Structure 1
């Protein structure tokens, strides 16, 4: 039986060995065997992804020169030799994050270099938190950098709520220092950079929804397909929440003229690992054609006995006057790492243009329950 591959397995004896060889190639004083023995100690098998990366970093710090700028010179020479590696090169910005916080100038220069080979979006955040004015000033200058990796870092690195990254609490409260960066990058020729701008605005929208709607209203250009994609991606959280301004911005009314009927859920009792069939009908009561964003919400039972809503996307529909459509979706209640299920009543609800219509319940049972 073939073993499954975990992301942490990218830090393997082979990949870390190649890293050691690249450093030894530019620094004959580097002790390869000592390094590898330190990395692959008795704890290695129990370490997860970021723990493995940090263990590699700490052993680099143990054997590279104590003088931080001298160590960076070696790493800058070694990194371009790793032509076959991708994510594994995250060790290089992690070294800056771990050892460089007291040397802002050397670290920012290293981050600018390293991010042309592998993203430094996690490392830069400690410097934003410690030196916000100086770091954001440099990041604003990066919007004109010739390398797309540096331009992307200008946006991605200052996302207030970057997943798995340090939350930038000052920027969560006041995102105004970010906005000039996003303004400059909104027309970048690279899709991944415009998408980063959208992700940054989506982060901001969770705390400042009206601000983001106002910015995107100014940016709106129906004839620019790239801009339309950026706006829709930036609004995704607000669209799920049914924010009226966000809905209006992309052509959806927050008060759709419809009736939602025949809401059904089968079966009404399931065990963990099984699925239900959820269906409902939408009838247009308008005299005009309507654009509808059709979703559904599952209100999952929590340990406290309350429910937590989660929106699931379905489709966008154009309904003519008097038209009726039926929506059917299978939904599995299966174990996943990002959600804990609790036995009891789970609630399903149609949502159209951010507005909920009616509810039906299913009882979730765990193995052994009668």
Structure 2
């Protein structure tokens, strides 16, 4: 059986190593008692984030009660730790540091060098968005690419696995100066965060992001990559302005014909293929984005759409045969349920054809 992520990223050996590193910088630290407190009877059953928080709470018992003293110890181990156990450091600030902003915010900027502080910063953003964003703006000028990435990633309005920041969802204007600083960053790690942040913003403010992308287009190869990924949600939604921005042709002269499935009654776990003809009634080559939507049946019997990209390509006029495989195998991110699953073919943002299969 494959190992679970919670066991791979935070095994007993990592807890023991963490305790020894703490002992090196803080001799009174009780290593054995700490390991026993962390790895209690419930430890194997705890999920990943539960393990992190339990470790944080246990750590508090063995550090000085004074927050400033405790943070000084944790700052001293930054060069010595990495990986998931390092995430405990910003989590400690999140839990115990919200009344000590002058200590906590600079500490998060240091802790992100060994384990990202993107989750730890969220409560501070929600408590005082404007004050926290001043730190984020300063971090965008850091010499350390991990800190620059944190400046963007930490203020994403819809950061996955983290609490949202309603103030930034409503008004992302405080984010934009940070992204302007980082739009041509030499590190891809940072540029990906800029693109993801803009994609988050596009879900609430599509016109703002499209206007920014128009301004950034052509500035550099890096910014062109960023704006394409920043608009991924808008492109999936078939936003016409986004389609035009990236040169996708008007879909009115494009038709889908002869949609067929290799198996119209597959079982859960099966793979199927489907094919269709794409007819371009145009006079010259056109840039085409070909996608399909599957309306998955959920446990409740309702359906939920998921869009998949087939390809982006320049095509000459005429008819083109398209074939695609699709799997109904269960995964950790998707469980399948029996029922009628509708497939839709989308060309340059416009739904052109549909068909159903009965999943058994």
**C-alpha distance in 1 between matches for 2:299 and 2:54:** 36
**C-alpha distance in 2 between matches for 1:54 and 1:304:** 33
**C-alpha distance in 2 between matches for 1:100 and 1:107:** 6
**C-alpha distance in 2 between matches for 1:90 and 1:303:** 35
Of 187, 190, 194 in structure 2, the residue corresponding to residue 190 of structure 1 is: 187
Aligned residue pairs, count: 359
Q: Does the 8 A contact of 1:290 with 1:319 survive in 2?
A: yes
User: What per-residue deviation string (whole Å, max 9, x for no partner) do you get for residues 32-68 of structure 1?
Assistant: 1110110011101110101111111111111100000
2:222 counterpart of 1:230: no
- Aligned residue for 2:2? 4
Q: Does the 8 A contact of 2:118 with 2:153 survive in 1?
A: yes
Which piece of structure 1 moves more, 274-283 or 298-307?
Answer: 298-307
Q: Provide TM-score, normalisation by structure 2.
A: 0.96
- Aligned residue for 2:29? 30
Change (3 A) 1:254 1:210: farther
User: What per-residue deviation string (whole Å, max 9, x for no partner) do you get for residues 58-80 of structure 1?
Assistant: 11111100000100111111221
2:65 counterpart of 1:66: yes
3-state SS of paired residue (2:172): coil
2:345 counterpart of 1:350: yes
Within a 5 Å distance, the mapping from 1:1-370 to structure 2 comes to 3-9=1-7, 10-82=9-81, 85-221=82-218, 224-303=220-299, 305-321=301-317, 323-365=318-360
Tell me the CA shift for residue 255 of structure 1: 2.8
- Aligned residue for 1:368? none
3-state SS of paired residue (1:295): strand
**C-alpha distance in 1 between matches for 2:300 and 2:106:** 49
Change (3 A) 1:305 1:53: closer
**C-alpha distance in 1 between matches for 2:34 and 2:230:** 44
Q: Does the 8 A contact of 1:242 with 1:254 survive in 2?
A: no
What do you get for the CA RMSD once the two structures are aligned?
1.4
Q: Does the 8 A contact of 2:286 with 2:314 survive in 1?
A: yes
3-state SS of paired residue (2:357): strand
Tell me the CA shift for residue 183 of structure 1: 1.3
**C-alpha distance in 2 between matches for 1:92 and 1:219:** 37
Consecutive unaligned residues in structure 2, runs of 5 or more: none
Q: Does the 8 A contact of 2:78 with 2:113 survive in 1?
A: no
